Amino acid sequence: MTSPSFPVVTRFAPSPTGRLHVGNIRTALHSWMLARRDGGRFVLRIDDTDAERSEERYVDSIRADLAWLGLVPDQEVRQSARFALYQARFDALVDAGRIYPAYESAQELDLKRKVLLGRGLPPVYDRAALRLTAAERAALESDRVRPHWRFKLDHDSPIEWDDLVRGPQRFDPATMSDPVVRRADGSWLYMLPSAIDDADLGITHVVRGEDHVSNTALQLQMFAAMGAPAPAFAHAALLTGSEGKLSKRLGSLGVDHFREGGIEPAAVLSLLTRIGTSQPVEPLVDPAPLIEALDFAHFGRAPARFDEAELAQVSARIVHQLPFDAVADRLPEGMDAAAWAAVRPNLAAVAEAADWWGVIEGPIDPPTAAEDGAYLAQAATAARAIDWAGDPWHALTARLKAESGRKGKPLFLPLRRALTGRDHGPDMAALLPLIGRDRALARLDAAADSNRSG
Please check whether residue 21 is in contact with residue 251, taking contact to mean a CB–CB distance below 8 angstroms: yes
CA distance 257 to 65: 11
User: Is 233 strand, coil or helix?
Assistant: strand
Count of CB atoms within 10 A of residue 367's CB?
23
Question: Which residue numbers belong to the known binding site for ATP?
Answer: 248
Helix axes 265-274, 308-319, angle to 10 degrees: 130
What topology is assigned to 84-182 in CATH?
Glutamyl-tRNA Synthetase; domain 3 (3.90.800)
Q: pTM, whole model, 2 decimals?
A: 0.89
- Are the beta carbons of 412 and 451 closer than 8 angstroms? no
Can you give the residue ranges of every domain in the chain? Answer: 9-76+192-237, 84-182, 324-359, 362-453
Q: Which residues contact 113 (CB under 8 A, 6 or more apart)?
A: 123
Structure confidence at residue 248 (pLDDT): 60
Per-residue pLDDT, averaged over 354-365, amounts to 94
pLDDT of residue 370: 63
From residue 304, how far is each of 83, 125, 163, 325 by CA, in Å? 37, 34, 18, 35
Kindly tell me the burial class for residue 159, based on how many C-beta atoms sit within 10 Å of its own C-beta (0-12, 13-18, 19 or more).
buried
pLDDT band at 46 (very low <50, low <70, confident <90, very high): very high
Q: How far apart are CA 430 and CA 346, in angstroms?
A: 12
Q: What is the mean pLDDT of residues 331-346?
A: 96
Residue 1, pLDDT score = 43
**Which amino acids are annotated as binding site, given as ranges?**
248
Helix (H) or strand (E) holding 232: strand 232-236
Q: How confident is the model at residue 450 (pLDDT cuts 50, 70, 90)?
A: confident
With 0-12 / 13-18 / 19 or more C-beta atoms within 10 angstroms meaning exposed / middle / buried, residue 322 is middle
3-state secondary structure 153-204: CCCCCCEEEEECCCEEEEECHHHCCCCEEECCCCCECCHHHHHHHHHHCCCC
320/330 Cα distance (integer angstroms): 15
- What span, in angstroms and rounded, lies between the C-alpha atoms of 317 and 311? 10
- CATH code assigned to 9-76+192-237: 3.40.50.620
Contact 238/246 with Cβ under 8 angstroms?
yes
Instruction: Tell me the Cα Rg of the chain.
Output: 32
Question: pLDDT (tens digit, 9 = 90+) per residue, 234-253?
Answer: 999 999 887 665 556 677 78
Q: What CATH code would you report for 362-453?
A: 1.10.10.350
Q: What is the pLDDT of residues 153-210, one digit of tens each?
A: 999 999 999 999 999 999 999 999 999 999 999 999 999 999 999 999 999 999 999 9
2 pLDDT higher than 50: no
Confidence (pLDDT) at 3: 45
pLDDT at 4 over 70: no
Mean of per-residue pLDDT scores for the chain? 93
How distant, in Å, are the alpha carbons of 39, 45, 197, 207, 374 from that of 10?
A: 11, 10, 12, 8, 70
| Percent of the chain whose predicted confidence (pLDDT) is above 70 | 95
Domains 9-76+192-237 and 84-182 are alike in CATH topology: no
pLDDT score, position 452: 63
Q: What is the DSSP string of 369-436?
A: -GGGHHHHHHHHHHHHHS-TTS-HHHHHHHHHHHHH---SHHHHHHHHHHHHS-SS-S-HHHHHHHH-
